[in-house]
Structure 1
């Protein structure tokens, strides 16, 4: 057993040192996710940093979509003993004030993307429902996640161009998730090969003037709900600060571009118990293919938690659109415009419709 500075804090949850998590499952992870945008189609930056204690790896990525550019910087190193050390090569995340303010940094490298950004939450960090999925008797997802909308201050540099980020315009959402999900080097599929491979997913944390709406929908190949959430959370400084309002079972109706599963608009319907039902309309403004170059599983040589050596190993990936459109595949994180009952907001419109689903008859 190896001690670390975190062991000096009264935070233990098991009779182990903090470096050792309570499960020996190889797929245990602990990750930050952030997005930054101006509520428009001009730019979207997505940043992630994760630790994989049972794989002995920590890694990070940043992905920017700017004009015709899709650029990724990614880094990996051995995790070591100190899980309080979030540095991964040029990346780091600093918790300035827990659940309120964080600093996210990518120092300059030869890969043409850097930033120094301060996050400030505009609603209380909100715990989502437990995400639990068992396939062919194996637990493949068992995780917790908090979500928060907020605003940004700092700068982003893309090539030779510096973008000033001010909180009057630049906003986004973040999450912190931890638990079990598929990570690291691929495992022999065995009986898991029988899995239909469906991932029908919607995730929309949306910021309005004095509140946010957080919505999740996940369904299997038969249209059964695997996970759902619909809450309205009132922001800091509002008359109802911190109040959480349950909005009932969300109903999701996307409209796809002809011959594709690319969403051009959508309606999400809510029916608060004892309240008035309402529809929230969404239009994606800037799609970012989150899985391209970032480690979510498309590239055989770089996956979250995959051992790349002692490190730090730092790499860059650049694609230009529309020329490289053929490689843009998988989960989409889009800047979205949302509207309901006279309220206009912006946020993350994350979706994927992979595999069979009742909404695609005849596939």
Structure 2
């Protein structure tokens, strides 16, 4: 089976581009977010391709006045992975690894036209590989880059400018759970466990990238903390050492009240970064954990829907509400310098996590 991608010198195997190994859970995904320098006007977007399910889906969501407005779209892929359009949502690659345009043509009152210009080259994060017993759960590569954002978003006739805004975008591809659940889970059954923090942050002349995955005992199995000066190339990042996150949880939730990371630079100097959440964004607005618009779910030839909800009114301990992002003010101290920044702190904490005193699937933090 030949597709448009086969015209380009991008093959990784002896097979046509339409075939992505043998795992039905293979995916290829774009993620975007943006906000003004004061953290207001937060929006997110996602676009996913699932070659072995023959499905593409896309989502756009924005917070305004405490309400999250969302567009969900899904279609049959038709095996063409190069067609980066799903319903009203379209992606244009202006310059690979540097400049991307995101377009949302008007659907039910929501539209947008935004350009993401990388502040530096992207950083490639360590490969994420995780198994449940002998079964592959995750095996993926991801790159991330903080961006200058320009353009506009319109909701119900009110258009707002994003000139001078900041944001982050990433690209990931590989294997992770998508679409319908496996009818035969791993035995014996165990309580699911996943601990994830991700905090890409924009400072005046540089970007901080920091993330961690931990097991139930709090031992990291994937982590990275890197500083990238504006204009740096792919080899220009300064990787930090001994990064340690501390989270103060809001009582009765698994949402952070504050976050802190302590790290050491190549010269042995200690640094501290703190984040203060100022706005809550539910990742289900982009399909993550959504009970009806899950990534890779089959919705027919083409389906598009608008959804609105108020994050503050949702039960924070329901499974679809555990995966969140906080827009957060940041402060960096150390190495003889200090700076204020703005970024996001993404959180997904399911199951046991000893350092947080979480003992069950979705129990909340104590008072």
For the aligned pair, the TM-score class normalised by the smaller chain equals: over 0.9
Q: Any residues of structure 2 matched to 1:205-220 within 5 Å, and which? A: 205-220=200-215
Q: Does 1:14 align with 2:13?
A: yes
Does residue 203 (structure 1) correspond to residue 184 (structure 2)? The answer is no
Query: What residue is the counterpart of 1:39 in the other structure?
Result: 37
Q: Does 1:222 align with 2:217?
A: yes
Say if 1:346 and 1:242 are closer, same or farther in 2 by CA, change over 3 A: farther
* Distance in 2 between residues matched to 1:179 and 1:362, nearest whole Å: 30
Structure 2: distance between partners of 1:90 and 1:335: 26
- Distance, in Å, in 1 between the alignment partners of 2:280 and 2:330 is 15
Q: Distance in 1 between matches of 2:301 and 2:154?
A: 28
- When the two chains are superposed, the root-mean-square deviation of aligned CA atoms in Å is 1.9
Which residue in the other structure is 1:347 paired with?
Answer: 343
Residue matched to 1:173: 168
The TM-score normalised by the length of structure 1 is: 0.92
Residue in structure 2 matched with residue 257 of structure 1 by the alignment: 250
Tell me the distance in 1 between the aligned counterparts of 2:277 and 2:156.
26
1:10-46 residue CA offsets vs partner (Å, 9 max, x unmatched)? 111111111111x111100000000010133432100
Q: Report the counterpart of residue 230 of structure 2 in structure 1.
A: 235
Structure 1: gaps (5+ residues): none
Q: 1:243 aligns to what SS in structure 2?
A: coil
Q: How much has 1:171 moved relative to structure 2?
A: 0.7
- Please give the residue correspondences for 1:279-298 in structure 2 after superposition, counting only pairs within 5 Å: 279-291=272-284, 293-298=285-290
Match of 1:103 in 2: 101
Give a deviation string over 1:176-202, Cα, whole Å, max 9, x none.
000000001111242257233122111
Q: Secondary structure at the match of 2:5?
A: helix
Do the aligned residues in 1 keep the contact of 2:201 with 2:330 (CA within 8 Å)? yes
Q: Is the 8 A contact 1:234 1:242 kept in 2?
A: no
Using the TM superposition, name which of 249-258 and 128-137 deviates more.
249-258
2:185 and 2:203 map into 1 onto residues whose CA distance is: 46
- Secondary structure in 2 matching 1:259: coil
Equivalent residue for 1:75, pick from 73, 78, 81: 73
Which sections of structure 2, spanning at least 5 residues, go unmatched? Answer: 360-367
Q: Does the C-alpha gap of structure 1 residues 304 and 39 become closer, same or farther in structure 2, counting only changes over 3 Å?
A: same
Residue aligning to 1:337: 329
Contact 1:40 / 1:335 at 8 angstroms: preserved in 2?
Answer: no
Q: Is the 8 A contact 1:39 1:347 kept in 2?
A: no
Q: CA deviation at 1:132?
A: 0.3
Report the alpha carbon displacement of residue 87 of structure 1 after superposing the two structures with TM: 0.8
**2:116 aligns with one of 119, 132, 143:** 119
Does structure 1 conserve the Cα–Cα contact (< 8 Å) formed by 2:35 and 2:162?
no
1:151 is matched with which residue?
148
- 2:298 is matched with 307
Matched residues in 2 for 1:156 and 1:218: separation?
33
